[in-house]
Amino acid sequence: MSVRISGVVVCAILIAAGAVTGASASQPEAPPQQQLPPSQWQLKQGAPQAVADLLERAKHQREIEFATQLRAVELAQKGVRARKAGRVVRELKAPEGWRAVPVRGSDDVEYSFKNPQIKGSEVVKAETALENAKRRLAEIKAGDYLPKPIVRADELNEGVVGTVALTIIQQVSSTEAVVRVDDLLPVLVNGKPVPSKASKEVLLSEFPAADYSPGRTLTDWTIEVIGSTTYQGENGRVNNVLHAKPLDWRKWIHLERPQV
């Protein structure tokens, strides 16, 4: 038994199929979901609790950096697409030769360029920024990546461990010094870096104070706050401050690479 299909029906089917195909082709491909592989850094047997806390802080910092950098890659991708879609407007008066106008109701930006050469140059810059962002994301995703377990000055309390920047204020002895702890990095407020004015004075013991004169600034020192104490200042006044000591934590961790 044969079935006849009229030319009109065939034409309607082809038009409908074309409409469906065109609709799906016009949809931008969703970016693949990014997953952060587990960290390969593990504690050695017998590691102090302070080191365990510090390693957890470092791993949490890695998660924050991953989420931040993932967003940076997405924004860089949008930047490349927006510049490629930009129009050439030869009457453009912008001194830089290009202009970016935010699209109302979204976080998109529309670009205009004075000539094709400027547009090409800006596209290349955006593509370079995207490659750099992807490279940094790959570094963070690596299982052997371990960021600094940074602690802010306003977080310092008894039991807290972390990496800080410190400035020598007063040498108390050859192994003790009063230091001012400043924030190592700007604090993020609403996603934007804002320089922090927070600082705290700390008496640092088990520290080679004789090697550093007052006013010297040291970065990337990892300390453990063990309590509070007092010291007599150069003006004779007794001051109450936090008491801390350096923590050599890296000797208590090791890489545990997955077996292939």
From first to last of its 260 residues, what are the pLDDT tens digits of the chain?
443 444 433 344 333 334 333 433 334 444 445 789 999 999 999 999 999 999 999 999 999 999 999 999 999 999 999 999 999 999 999 999 999 999 998 889 999 999 999 999 999 999 999 999 999 999 999 999 999 898 888 899 999 999 998 999 999 999 999 999 987 655 555 555 555 567 899 999 999 999 999 999 898 899 999 999 998 888 888 999 999 999 999 999 999 987 76
Residue position matching structure tokens 């400035």: 167
Residue position matching structure tokens 């003006």: 235
Nearby residues of 137 by Cβ (< 8 Å), 6 or more positions away: 34, 66, 69, 70, 72, 73
List the domain boundaries for the chain. 46-141, 153-255
In angstroms, the first-to-last Cα distance of the chain is 61
Tokens of residue 213, six digits: 């004169």
Distances in Å between the Cα of 43 and the Cα atoms of 39, 48, 85, 166 are 12, 9, 50, 27
pTM given for the model: 0.74
Q: Which fold has domain 153-255?
A: OB fold (Dihydrolipoamide Acetyltransferase, E2P) (2.40.50)
